């Protein structure tokens, strides 16, 4: 049984020789597709929270504040005309948030309407933005799809050809996704810390070794904003021409512990 610290393997690529990587793939032991998917899903959850925190602090999206970033809205109050642009500026040096995550640069979110309005969209781009010292590029879109049959708010999160660079900038991940985020608790308050979500959907891309993959959330991922880790669910990752890897996020504990199997061999992942 192997134990893997989340970013010590996936995002310090210089620790591994190319021949070792090729051997792992030839022997169907390659783990990068799984690790890259863990990182991408974590980033998307964090991005959603960063943008929604800014939007929810004021219903009219006119005055927001943060202990980590500077939030600027144009057009500002008392203008009620949309679209509005929310700029989340973390500065040029790393800003550490409440979950001990480093951010720097800018997230730029353009709101077509108030985010609680049906079919409102938030189009998100980046300017010299780094998440956990990994540069992020691309366009992400959040769409309010209204209430589902259970009466829960649903948001779609999509991106096409986003790029996430490794910390040493020697490699990068291409990522596409179509996720559905269902809010099952906490939406009646302006704070996001009491929100709980179920995340479902699919993704595809190219891992940092240049190999393609697809992934599907087989059992909805449980995202509790009181915990910085995904607490349960199963993500199925399929690298091209290799066997399926099933990533199990656990049984609800906020411990960052995950497991996945490759051809009967169990790998433990511990998220920092």
Q: Per-domain residue ranges for the chain?
A: 2-19+27-56+65-270
Our CA angle for 210, 214, 217, nearest 5°, is: 140
pLDDT in tens, 60-75: 444 444 568 888 888 7
229 CB neighbour count, 10 Å cutoff: 19
Query: Model's pTM, two decimal places?
Result: 0.88
The answer to whether residues 131 and 73 touch, using CB atoms and an 8 Å cutoff, is: no
Query: What are the φ/ψ torsions at residue 208 (nearest 5 degrees)?
Result: -70, -10
Contact 141, 158 (CB under 8 A): yes
Cα gap 265→67, rounded to integer Å: 44
**Element containing residue 200 per DSSP (H, E):** strand 196-206
Task: Judge whether 110 and 56 are in contact, CB under 8 Å.
Answer: no
Q: Could you report the per-residue pLDDT of 31-88, keeping only the tens digit for each?
A: 999 999 999 999 999 999 999 888 876 544 444 445 688 888 887 666 788 999 999 9
């Amino acid at each position: 049984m192997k134990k893997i610290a989340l970013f010590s393997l996936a995002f310090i690529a210089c620790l591994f020789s190319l021949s070792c990587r090729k051997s792992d793939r030839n022997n169907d032991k390659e783990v990068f597709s799984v690790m890259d998917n863990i990182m991408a899903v974590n980033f998307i959850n964090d991005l959603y929270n960063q943008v929604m925190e800014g939007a929810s602090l004021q219903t009219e999206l006119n005055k927001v504040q943060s202990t980590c970033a500077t939030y600027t809205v144009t057009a500002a109050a008392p203008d009620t005309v949309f679209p509005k642009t929310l700029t989340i500026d973390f500065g040029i040096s790393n800003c550490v948030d409440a979950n001990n995550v480093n951010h720097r640069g800018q997230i730029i979110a353009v709101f077509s309407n108030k985010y609680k309005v049906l079919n409102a969209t938030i189009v998100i781009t980046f300017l010299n933005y780094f998440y956990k010292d990994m540069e992020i590029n691309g366009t992400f879109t959040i769409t309010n799809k209204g209430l589902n049959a259970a009466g829960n708010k649903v948001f779609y999160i999509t991106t096409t050809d986003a790029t996430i660079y490794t910390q040493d900038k020697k490699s990068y991940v291409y990522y596409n996704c179509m996720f559905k985020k269902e809010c099952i608790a906490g939406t009646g308050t302006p704070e996001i810390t009491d929100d709980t979500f179920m995340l479902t959907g699919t993704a595809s891309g190219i891992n940092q070794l240049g190999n393609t993959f697809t992934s599907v959330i087989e059992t909805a991922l449980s995202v509790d904003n009181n915990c910085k880790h995904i607490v349960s669910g199963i993500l199925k990752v399929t690298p091209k021409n290799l066997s399926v890897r099933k990533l199990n996020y656990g049984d609800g504990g906020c411990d960052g512990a995950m497991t996945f199997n490759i051809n009967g061999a169990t790998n433990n992942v511990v998220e920092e």
